[in-house]
Amino acid sequence: MSPTEMISQENYEPGICKIDPWLKPFAPAIKRRLESYKKWVKEINQNEGGYDKFSRGYERFGLNVLPNGDIIYREWAPNAVAASLIGEFNDWDRSKHPMKKDSFGVWEVHIPAKNGIPTIPHNTKIKISMTTSEGECIDRLPAWIKRVTQDLNVSLAYDAIFWNPPQKYQWKNNSPKKPTSLRIYEAHVGISTNEGRVGTYNEFTDNVLKRIKDLGYNAIQLMAIMEHAYYASFGYQVTSFFGVSSRYGTPEELMRLIDTAHGMGLYVLLDVVHSHACKNVLDGLNMFDGSDHCYFHEGGKGRHDLWDSRLFNYGHWEVLRFLLSNLRFFMEEYRFDGFRFDGVTSMMYHHHGIGTGFSGGYHEYFGDTVDEEGVIYLMLANDMLHKLYPRIITVSEDVSGMPGLCLPVEEGGIGFDYRLAMAIPDMWIKLLKEQRDDDWDMGNICWTLTNRRHMEKTIAYAESHDQALVGDKTLAFWLMDKEMYTHMSDMTPLTPIIDRGLALHKMIRLLTHGLGGEGYLNFEGNEFGHPEWLDFPRAGNNNSFHYARRQWNVVDDDLLRYKYLNEFDKAMQHLEEQYGWLSSPQAYISLKHNENKLVAFERGNLLWIFNFHPTQSFADYKIGTEWAGKYSIALNTDRKIFGGHDRIDESISYHSQPHEWDGRKNYIQVYIPCRVALVLSHC
């Protein structure tokens, strides 16, 4: 490097520091990250031929069938001193198919075809048998295996399956256009049935996709797809990273689900777990080659104390190949449209977020507590995905508020498209648990909903799967509790508790949708106030499926009040599709009146008015607006079809007056009943 280049490098200021000048004192740390990232990219380009080849590890590792029917199996297991492929095809005989090891610790065996037909039959069991450097003989499931199954009549452990169906899935639909306003329906295939059992890919395709489309969502986030040994882990204890859960059906049936969703114009995101791995040995990656440190850090650094799981060594070449190839595999093989990365906080900090609060001080994001290797991996993953798939969407689950998380890597960011607004559901639950409606602070609510980093997109949500799990309550359950069992029928009196619950359930979701971010998320069933909690079969509930299902029957029953909440959610999503407020600039809030419990703001060419007061309605209330003209009602939470009282005449138009009010150039006067929200369009 020339002296001129060195001076230029020293004076270089990452783009993130120009966006947020408060980051300038931390520019050296940001530049160090960038240099580490660039070093990895350079080495990948020089040694592997770039992202494209490096991230196709699944075409080299694992079991791959050649055009002539031969099978080549490769596995990285540096601690092993001997290895062989065993299975039903060779009567589990360790002497029949020994493997050879190269200087990088990669084992390989070539299995010739018989008359052009693979020697290993489709849908038969296999394992890799190894001898460790300590002389121990161990059997493992191949790390890159694409299908594993479980027979509980035989063992809790999974079996590796050689999956090579004679008929490959024929894709019918192209991927849809990338949505500008992201409305995500978070779903779990296994619980998506009324019945007390595990649901299937086919049932989800045939029964649930049409519900999602009808509601107006444009993306699905699928949970618990990567194979996990323990169903009750909600999919977050992954054992086979390249296998899709066999509980729900075959790989081809998942392909059909995604293909059908694409035909409906729906993006499909995978909830990907690269933050940790299940500690299982017999059917997981733990102790894969007999060592403590094959894919993971050794000792305490490689263990998550709270999750009781193993932590990846993101600084190792082969671990990077494995994880980046895992992302590429799901994009290529299953045609996912993006990922929601779970547990990003754990990946970015040595303390993994355990027992640590984040004050928002920038020193917390660039000090010794930051796991630079984890951060660099996320930068590489996002960079690779966005370069290879410009239409991809990546979402981060992070509670720390890391600056630049959703800015491009080349600007010093980490490269995600969106971050989840995890403080919003916490706020709503805290309000419902601890405060009377009269004590709600409109200013604090609006501040939490709008407190997000400039130019970094956020996905807002009132509640997700976290709030639905046993031990917590959904918003509907906090609002209506035991009366959901007795008074959700139109044949019963509308009690004050149910009336309040229906009204606030709609208003909370609408305010979150309008103010909270550049995307919106809902967990399946919560849109209609799903009764009860979510609890998977486990010893503590006698392995019951009673709470591990979605009771679609209650929303389909025309006599029950769940239908009102469902209709409102549908109207809200379709209105966003029409006006696109999620892709509009952040709202201008003109009114936050604590005594009257009123909020008003402008966003997406719409005027939003909320009256959270439990008893006080207001006639001819002045609402400031920047736009002159005639206003009409686009959405009214008090409509009968939404379980309201029809107190507003929607045939009336509202005409602005050219006088300043609440800092806006004009005002209109409206009747706004208690616990009602209005969204007005203008012309």
Question: What single string gives the DSSP state of each residue in 13-73?
Answer: --HHHHH-GGGGGGHHHHHHHHHHHHHHHHHHHHHHSSHHHHTTGGGTSEEEE-TTS-EEE
The residue annotated as part of the active site, out of 342, 456, 518, 535, is 342
d(Cα 677, Cα 571) in Å, to the nearest integer? 13
Contact predicate 437/479, CB 8 Å: no
Element (H, E) at 574: helix 562-579
AA letter at 521: L
d(Cα 459, Cα 464) in Å, to the nearest integer? 11
AA letter at 528: F
The residue annotated as part of the active site, out of 227, 397, 417, 518, is 397
Element (H, E) at 514: helix 496-515
Contact predicate 80/101, CB 8 Å: yes
Active site annotation includes 342: yes
Beta strands in 168-278 (DSSP E): 182-188, 219-223, 226-228, 238-244, 267-272
Residue with tokens 């001080």: 361
Contact predicate 57/51, CB 8 Å: no
Of 229, 245, 397, the residue nearest 334 (C-alpha): 245
Question: What single string gives the DSSP state of each residue in 437-485?
Answer: GGG--HHHHHHHHH---TT--EEE-S--HHHHBBTB--HHHHHHGGGGT
CB-based contacts of 208, cutoff 8 Å, min separation 6: 187, 192, 524
Element (H, E) at 317: helix 317-333
d(Cα 87, Cα 139) in Å, to the nearest integer? 11
> What pLDDT is attached to residue 471?
67
Residue 439 Cα distances to 434, 445, 500, 507, 596, angstroms: 10, 12, 15, 17, 11
Crossing angle of helices 496-515/442-450, nearest 10°? 40
Active site annotation includes 649: no
CA angle 660, 664, 669 (to 5 degrees): 70
Q: Residues 244, 245, 250, 252: is their CA dihedral positive or negative?
A: negative
Structure token pair of residue 361: 């001080």
d(Cα 83, Cα 92) in Å, to the nearest integer? 13
Structure token pair of residue 247: 């509980």
Contact predicate 156/229, CB 8 Å: yes
> What pLDDT is attached to residue 209?
98
| Domains of the chain as residue ranges with CATH | 73-162 (2.60.40.10), 587-682 (2.60.40.1180)
3-state SS class at 257 = helix
Structure token pair of residue 175: 């991927």
Contact predicate 123/160, CB 8 Å: no
Contact predicate 627/635, CB 8 Å: no
Residue 522 Cα distances to 92, 269, 581, angstroms: 48, 14, 17
Contact predicate 125/88, CB 8 Å: yes
Contact predicate 588/601, CB 8 Å: yes
d(Cα 588, Cα 579) in Å, to the nearest integer? 16
> What pLDDT is attached to residue 9?
52
CB-based contacts of 267, cutoff 8 Å, min separation 6: 175, 176, 178, 179, 182, 218, 219, 220, 261, 337, 338, 393
d(Cα 409, Cα 36) in Å, to the nearest integer? 12
d(Cα 41, Cα 618) in Å, to the nearest integer? 61
Residue 101 Cα distances to 281, 316, 480, angstroms: 22, 19, 63
Averaged pLDDT in 10-residue chunks for the chain of 683 residues: 43 88 95 96 98 98 97 98 98 98 97 96 98 96 97 90 96 97 98 96 98 98 96 93 98 98 98 98 97 96 96 98 98 98 97 90 93 98 98 97 96 97 95 95 98 95 84 88 96 97 98 98 96 88 91 97 98 98 96 98 98 98 97 98 97 96 97 98 94
Cα dihedral 556→557→562→563 (10° resolution): 60
- HSE-up of residue 577 (Cα within 13 Å, Cβ side): 16
149 backbone dihedrals φ, ψ, rounded to 5°: -135, 160
AA letter at 13: E
CB-based contacts of 109, cutoff 8 Å, min separation 6: 72, 73, 84, 85, 97, 98, 99, 100
What's the pLDDT tens digit per position in 567-593?
999 999 999 999 999 999 999 999 999
Q: Residues 394, 400, 402, 403: is their CA dihedral positive or negative?
A: positive
Element (H, E) at 310: strand 309-310
d(Cα 534, Cα 554) in Å, to the nearest integer? 16
